[in-house]
A and B are shown apart, each in its own frame.
Chain A
Amino acid sequence: MARSDSDVEVEVSSESPLDKRRDGGHIQWAAEPMLEKIISVVPGLLYVFNQNTQSNEYTNRSLGEMMGYTAEELRQMRDTFLPTVCHPDDMARIVDYFGQIRRLQDGDVAEIVYRIWHKSGGWRHLLSQDTVFERAPDGSVLRHIGIATDITVQKNAETALQEMNETLSVINRELEELTYVATHDMKSSIVNISGLAAALADVVDPNDDEAHELIALIQRSTSEATNTIQSIVTIAQNRERMETAPASPQDLAASFAEVQRALQPQLDALNATVTTHIPPSLQVIFPPLQLQSVLKNLLHNAIRYHTAARPLVVTLTARPAKDGGVQVWFADNGRGVDLARDRERIFQLFQRGGNHDLEGSGIGLYLVRQMMRRARGAVSVQSTPGGGATFVLGFSGTG
């Protein structure tokens, strides 16, 4: 980094790409014309620092002026410039950083971010990147060259983003708590209503058909409400698990085989055929339990929405994607999806495609999309009505 703006007379080796010139009583280093052009367009501060004299031998512009100080103010501060304007918490790191520069190997680049007080008020964040420019005969670093860039805008954006993330985390925790309290309290009330309805059924006249029918309707309604609450809890828990479960490389074929084994009795009952085309050892980056959940939901979906017109056939095809991820096509020959109506609907909470003649909670595909998105992936559907559906999973290369 640029320690000060003072220009000091020094001897330089003849190999230096910079020329020495006398200007206003100080020796400065003038660049070759082309180099000078390049230097003039470099944003921030370019400097050559001499370790022996502990001062800059060349700077393309003044750090002090960049920070809004007048020449007179800089003259008065001179050697105390840096301690005066640098953030006190950063000074010790800067001293360490100079030691680090002295230990640099040729070609290595050291960097540091520190804060300088701008005269107009407020800290400016500077990023300095330094590398060895010239060594002394004993091999020690004689000069280093560096660039100091004002990254305040970027730092402020990072800080704002971090603050926003923290705010969102707080909101998320509050929503989770709300979900917990709401589901618990609703479930308590519903369980009580259900229990009271059962108690009522015990005491009303056994021959009062209307009363028993009404009680049965209460029981059905409480059962539906309980299922809805259970679905909400499942979603909340899935979210919580995704947050805590780390993604790691998973063998896709092995994961799917496990899911298939779990659902084999239902597949056998439908005389279903399941075929996979997965390159050996193909891995996806995903939390293991969530990967199985995604595949299980899709296979379960294929089983539920099979058509009686033909035996169920499920085909899973996977290929490495160009972006380092994996693309998976999960195809069935079931009822298919009316894309004009249901392309997005089927992935929405408590929404189901088709004519709702089958039992379903309406959260399976919602969970699939939620899990894929959490792992920076995507899911979409292709289909022709009556001709089956193909769910396309795009697994990210990083998970």
Chain B
Amino acid sequence: MNAPQIDRILLIDDDDVTAFLVQRLVQKSGMVGTLHRASDGLEGLEMLNAAARGEAEKPDVILLDINMPRMTGIEFLAAYEQLPETTRSGVVIVMFTTSLLERDRRTAEASPHVQGFFNKPLSREQLTELAALTQYAS
């Protein structure tokens, strides 16, 4: 198996089936080192803060769902903006959603931290695209 092209992905999504399918693709593709999952934006933030404290590894990629309980993807982006630069640097955020609405896309793309907009389900092509984005970011 080749070396992973993406070291660490953090999937922020409340949907278990999505998480299962992403996990499965990650395993089969061999393109990703580790996959972590947060069930909503708040948990995602906590994981980033833990990484900032050195208690966990910082992700290279965040796959961010929009519609989630407690903290939506859009709310997460606003909170992410407030994180220290050191916590945010080198992280690629890609929206990962089933939303078909232009307004969701426009809102997400207005954030300077969002570098892509993927429609579910995750595909190998999208993983390749993510790998290219992480290389560009690094």
Contact = CB atoms under 8 A, between A and B. Distances in A.
Interface in B9-48: 15, 17-18, 21, 24
A188 B120 contact: yes
Interface in B42-78: 67
Contacts of B98: 184, 187-188, 191
Interface string B98-123: 11111100000000000000001100
A229 interface: yes
A233 B18 CA distance: 22
A374 to B, nearest CB: 18
Contact of B100 (A183, A192, A240): A183
A109 interface: no
A192 B17 contact: yes
B25 to A, nearest CB: 9
A233 B17 contact: no
B101 A192 contact: no
A208 B53 CA distance: 52
A229 B101 CA distance: 11
B121 A194 contact: yes
A237 interface: yes
B101 A237 contact: yes
Nearest to B18: A192
Contacts of B18: 188, 191-192, 195
A180 interface: yes
Interface in A153-202: 180, 183-184, 187-188, 191-192, 194-196, 198-199
Contacts of B100: 183-184, 187, 229-230, 233
A246 to B, nearest CB: 18
Given A196-B17, A199-B24, A191 B102 contact: no
A226 to B, nearest CB: 9
Interface string A199-241: 1000000000000000000000000000001100100010010
Contacts of A240: 103
Given A192-B15, A195-B17, A233 B101 contact: yes
A184 B102 contact: no
Given A191-B120, A191-B121, A184 B17 contact: no
A229 to B, nearest CB: 7
Given A187-B98, A195-B121, 16 more contacts: A183-B100, A184-B98, A188-B15, A188-B120, A191-B98, A191-B121, A192-B17, A192-B21, A192-B121, A195-B17, A195-B21, A196-B21, A229-B100, A237-B101, A237-B102, A240-B103
19 contacts: A180-B101, A183-B100, A184-B98, A184-B99, A187-B99, A191-B18, A191-B120, A192-B15, A192-B18, A195-B17, A195-B120, A195-B121, A196-B17, A198-B121, A199-B21, A199-B24, A230-B100, A233-B101, A237-B102
Q: Give the 3 A-B residue pairs with the shortest CB-CB distance, closest first.
A: A192-B17, A187-B98, A195-B21
Interface of B: 15, 17-18, 21, 24, 67, 98-103, 120-121
